[in-house]
Every structure is written in structure tokens, then in C-alpha cells.
């Protein structure tokens, strides 16, 4: 019984596929680094301490704005990690 073999690609196609795979892998690395930077930036957000008192309302407003900023960084980090995963799958399939 013979095994099925796919036809060998032409040398020019191999070079094109290799260049495309290299480009996709580079894009995945850049997206992964961007994701890490976003998550580290999110972790660097400092939240204010809230103690009962006169300026409690101002602190809650400040807390809300800082949490929104942290959430934005987390959104970008998760999005870039998704892009990284998709690019890695595409590079693996080439």
C-alpha cells in the first residue's frame, strides 16, 4: 500500500512561504510584546485609599477614573494577546 504524498512545491513558492511565515512570526512577537507592555502598565496603575471622611466623594471619583484607565489597558492587552494567538496559528499552518 502506497502512502499519499502531496506534490513538492516549487522553490520560488518555498521562498515566498518562508518569507510570509517569518513576517507573521515577527508580527506575533511584536503583538505579544505590546500585550505585555499593556498588562504591565495596567499593573502600575495605583488606586487611591478611600477612608470615611469629608473628601470621600472626590476619592470615589478618582478611583472610578483610575479603574477605567486600568480597564482600558487590560482591554488592549487582551486584544493583542488574541492577535498573537491568531498569528501563531496562521504561522503554524504555513
Q: Does any domain span residue 6? A: no
Neighbours of 76 (CB within 10 A): 16
Q: Supply the pLDDT for residue 7.
A: 63
Q: How many domains does the chain have?
A: 1
Q: How many helices (H) and strands (E) does the chain have?
A: 2, 0
Is residue 83 a part of any domain in this protein? yes
pLDDT in tens, 47-84: 877 777 777 777 788 888 999 999 999 999 999 999 99
Q: Has residue 66 been placed in a domain?
A: yes
Is 2 within the bounds of a domain?
A: no
Q: What is d(CA 82, CA 16) in angstroms, rounded to the nearest whole number? A: 26
Give percent above pLDDT 90 in the chain: 50
In a domain, 75, yes or no: yes
Does 18 map to a domain? no
- Enclosing domain of residue 51: 25-93
The structure's pTM equals 0.73
- Domain membership of residue 14 (yes or no) is no
Measured CA to CA, the distance from residue 4 to residue 64 in angstroms comes to 62
Q: Is residue 80 part of a domain?
A: yes
Amino acid at each position: 500500500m502506497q502512502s499519499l504524498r502531496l506534490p513538492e512545491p516549487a522553490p520560488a513558492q518555498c521562498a515566498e512561504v518562508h518569507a510570509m511565515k517569518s513576517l507573521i512570526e515577527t508580527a506575533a512577537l511584536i503583538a505579544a510584546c505590546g500585550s505585555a507592555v499593556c498588562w504591565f502598565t495596567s499593573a502600575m496603575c495605583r488606586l487611591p485609599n478611600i477612608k470615611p471622611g469629608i473628601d470621600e466623594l472626590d476619592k470615589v471619583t478618582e478611583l472610578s477614573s483610575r479603574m477605567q484607565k486600568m480597564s482600558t489597558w487590560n482591554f488592549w492587552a487582551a486584544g493583542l494577546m488574541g492577535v498573537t494567538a491568531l498569528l501563531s496559528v496562521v504561522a503554524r499552518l504555513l
